[in-house]
A = this chain, B = another copy of it.
Amino acid sequence: MTGATATLLLSCPDQQGLVAKIANFIYANGGNIIHADHHTDFSADLFLSRIEWQLDGFNLPRDIIDRAFAAVGKPLNASWELHFSDERQRLAIWVTKQDHCLLDLLWRQQAKELPAEIPLIMSNHPDLGAIAQQFGIDFYHIPVTKATKAEAEAQQLELLRQYEIDVVVLAKYMQVVSPEFIAQFPKIINIHHSFLPAFPGARPYHRAYERGVKIIGATAHYVTPDLDEGPIIEQDVARVSHRDLTADLIRKGKDLERMVLARAVRSHLQHRVLAYNNRTVVFS
């Protein structure tokens, strides 16, 4: 099971013959499927699929696969993405002052758990610049105030273009990204420190403590203009008790946050996530 693979991530209106047509395209061109998973959402009348096959032995050069597949996909009114496993995505991490999610992502990238390059770290505070330096990653400190937000976002967009960033990960970036920004760069993953939809917004651990919950959580989701309302990619929880003060919730939550964010980012980078109707399919 060596060599590069192609991954097709597709959605289209449900109809007969979808699996056959897609599989035939790959088979007819000499491809060997190594992962195929499909899902039909009957209430949305939508078929969603992820197929991965070996490029070794595949008859089509990789630069024409997309065009060739259009002959199958267009008549189905499908939307699709095509990715190659050896073309690593470029990921930017945005942070504020907390370092646990940042460090965790950087370790995992070094440990080859995340198939991505991380050329850019951006923060509205200077504090984490030393970590960026230590990992040899460019760091930009772009303060954001109400008055400078539009300007700051323009600068951020320019950086994303310049560094050819594919996906932004908000790893405890404690600023709201504007709808205008999202319209121009929609691939943003955020980690929220609560079990959404419980405790959206600020200070979720304090509110969890006050509410007296017995379990806390964290949620990774795509960012949309509605704060903390985007499609959920991954969630996890931890048990707490009356012994746990707010500080303990924060401490336990940090572990949740980095695990949940890492799993979401990895699924995204492996092209396992399809978002639609404010929800996600995560192919396992």
Contacts and interface: CB of A to CB of B under 8 A. Distances in A.
Interface of A: 1, 16-21, 23-24, 26-28, 30-43, 100, 103, 107, 111, 113, 134, 195-199, 211-215, 217, 231-237, 239, 241-243, 245, 251, 254-255, 259, 278-282, 284
Contacts of A241: 282, 284
17 contacts: A16-B30, A18-B33, A20-B20, A23-B24, A33-B38, A35-B38, A36-B36, A39-B242, A111-B254, A134-B134, A195-B198, A196-B198, A197-B199, A211-B278, A212-B232, A213-B232, A255-B259
Copies in the complex: 4
A242 B279 CA distance: 9
Given A23-B19, A26-B20, A40-B34, A214 B198 contact: no
B27 A282 contact: no
B243 A39 contact: yes
A43 to B, nearest CB: 8
